Structure 1
């Protein structure tokens, strides 16, 4: 019984973890790209990594938190502009190939010894180099606080303050998406997703709208990267292809083109993922290695994504009619 309680507590903790919030934020940005506009962006991890580096490098250089925060957003917007200008005329799998390649270029540049002075190379940037300005903003008193079975320090890397800040950003992002997708601008995005030639015939600049959606989703991705590294260090390999893969799973699980789908998908995905891993470690202790558990967990994620795409492409909250994407 004690082991079962421990496993359930770990799964419950994942519901409010900063990492879960980071994936929700990244999935909200991806939802603007794919769910509302029909852009097959397979490089969301690249936006996240640039946001993390923008925040970390600016903080180490002496910038206050909010300036570093803005620099992270600017990094995501700039990457979207550079990426979008030559590629937004592409459709479907061609755009997917370009975006995943661009994200890999960002990761390799982060690992490169050429920029090691700023990025730390393959080792990345240690958390104690860039977290002090964030932690200094905490309004919480020193010490620890328990909420039910969950207990964390009030201020620090893995703290209540990090969780409050992370989920506060998710709340602001949900409100922002709710406002813009219910505006005339949001209706144009849906039109582009379903038939961009018809939107073009009405005199709208399809390229301009796609670029705006790419920039806004990229900024949200960059902020997700900032949140992702607050409890840990910045490592280029920590924000690679697997992260994009997980973000897609989160978005499709909750439902593309839905407001709360990315948030629900992230919370459900990581709670179940932790439940499976912790349960297998406990139940199969001494039978299989921890490496096998991690690999098997990744395999289950892949199978889950396949099943979703085949049998429930609209996700939990989605509408199948919303998936009539013009990606030819």
Structure 2
């Protein structure tokens, strides 16, 4: 078993674009659920809107890359409004069903041949990277050390993603310390009490949905920067991965999504190599290397069950701020 490769591969995922993108999207999910008490199972839809809004703006309309990000954000705001108007008065379990259905509608629309001219249907979109790469401030060369060694384009993607993540954390931290944030957390605990104080609960919920959705959109943009945009990526399983990250790090925390994303993806990377290696050496009787690769999802599911049972507040969470009973 090549431990050097296993350790190097695991460590490299600490700064992968996917890890950064999932962290940003999970910060948005923390705004939805951890602070606002909204049981959103459609964050994958917001990420898809960000990625497709970015790519289509560049490929079909020739807009600059930074305008493409704004288009994705605008699309997520419209989607949040359309989603929130009929659903935010629903009870938490019905809201979860509505949001996962809405995210699937978004994915299937992008996959449909109806909009093939813009989305390329199931084949997805690529070749939209030129503008972003031209904005790269780093001269050609190799940067970093060990498993964190990148060329100038790889470094640019990571620096840009980390900058967006830092901005998201600062904005959420400031908002949750403000009077607005205290009202939002009050709604999470008892919306009837907040309504009795004369606050427009529906309006606050809508603002929470929009803010968390915008952060999900930015996560989708970061995930699309180094690769292609393919509708098969934005399955419900993506949202469930985000929930795993959120519950692992802590739902109502600022840095919980960052810690959770790093642990989740490093664990996934470790198991993706470690388990097939065990199978290849005959240490998993009756299990092939391919089956061993799938086994990691079972183990991740067991980890999620253990977190919910033994530490539902997550690594950084506070039991006083649990929202599993949110209405």
> Could you say which TM-score interval applies, normalised by the shorter chain?
over 0.9
Which residue of structure 2 aligns with residue 88 of structure 1?
88
What CA distance in whole angstroms lies between the structure 2 residues aligned with 1:115 and 1:243? 23
Change in 2 beyond 3 A, CA 1:239/1:56: same
Q: Distance in 2 between matches of 1:215 and 1:62?
A: 27
Which residue of 2 is the match for residue 100 of structure 1?
100
Question: Contact 1:29–1:219 at 8 Å: present in 2 too?
Answer: yes
Deviations, residues 105-140 of structure 1 (Å, cap 9, x unaligned): 0111111010111111011112x2x11111111111
Instruction: Report the CA distance shift for 1:39/1:63 in structure 2 as closer, same or farther (over 3 A).
Output: same
Matches for 1:213-292 after TM superposition, within 5 Å: 213-285=208-280, 288-292=287-291
1:177 alignment partner, one of 172, 192, 209: 172
User: Does 1:132 pair with 2:127?
Assistant: no
| Shift in alpha-carbon separation, 1:55–1:302, aligned structure 2, 3 A | same
Q: CA deviation at 1:289?
A: 4.1
SS in 1 for 2:229: coil
What does residue 145 of structure 2 align with? 147
User: In the alignment, is residue 117 of structure 1 matched against residue 117 of structure 2?
Assistant: yes
Tell me if 1:323 matches 2:322: yes
1:293 Cα offset (Å):
2.9
Gap regions ≥5 residues in structure 2: none
Change (3 A) 1:304 1:216: same
Q: Quote the offset at 1:325 in angstroms.
A: 5.1
Distance in 1 separating the partners of 2:7 and 2:236: 29
TM-score, normalised to structure 1's length? 0.95
Q: Please give the root-mean-square deviation of Cα atoms over the aligned residues, in Å.
A: 1.4
Task: Quote the residue 2:63 is aligned against.
Answer: 63
Q: Deviations over 1:145-188 (max 9, x none)?
A: 34234322211xxx111111111111110011011000000000
Q: Distance in 1 between matches of 2:310 and 2:148?
A: 36
Instruction: Give the corresponding residue for 1:314.
Output: 313
Runs of 4+ in 1 over 6 A off after TM superposition: none
Q: Structure 1 residue 39: deviation in Å?
A: 0.2
By how many angstroms is 1:286 displaced? 6.6
Q: Report if aligned partners of 2:143, 2:151 keep a CA contact under 8 Å in 1.
A: yes
Q: Deviations over 1:247-278 (max 9, x none)?
A: 00001100011010000000011111111111
| Equivalent residue runs for 1:43-58 within 5 Å | 43-58=42-57
Asked whether the equivalents of residues 195 and 326 of structure 1 are also in contact (C-alpha less than 8 Å), the reply is no
CA change 1:174–1:9 in 2 (3 A) is same
Q: Using structure 2 for the length normalisation, give the TM-score.
A: 0.95
**Which sits farther off after the overlay, 93-102 or 304-313?**
304-313
Cα distance in structure 1, aligned partners of 2:115 and 2:310: 45
Q: Which runs of 5+ in 1 are unaligned?
A: none
**CA deviation profile, 1:171-218 (whole Å, cap 9, x unmatched):** 110011011000000000000000000000000000000000000000
Mapped contact 1:14–1:270 kept (Cα < 8 A): yes
The SS at the match of 1:284 is helix
Superposed displacement of residue 282, structure 1: 2.5
Indicate yes or no: 2:204 matched with 1:205. no
- Structure-2 separation of matches of 1:45 and 1:277: 23
1:32 maps to 31
Q: Give 1:285 shift.
A: 2.4
| Distance in 2 between residues matched to 1:83 and 1:286, nearest whole Å | 50
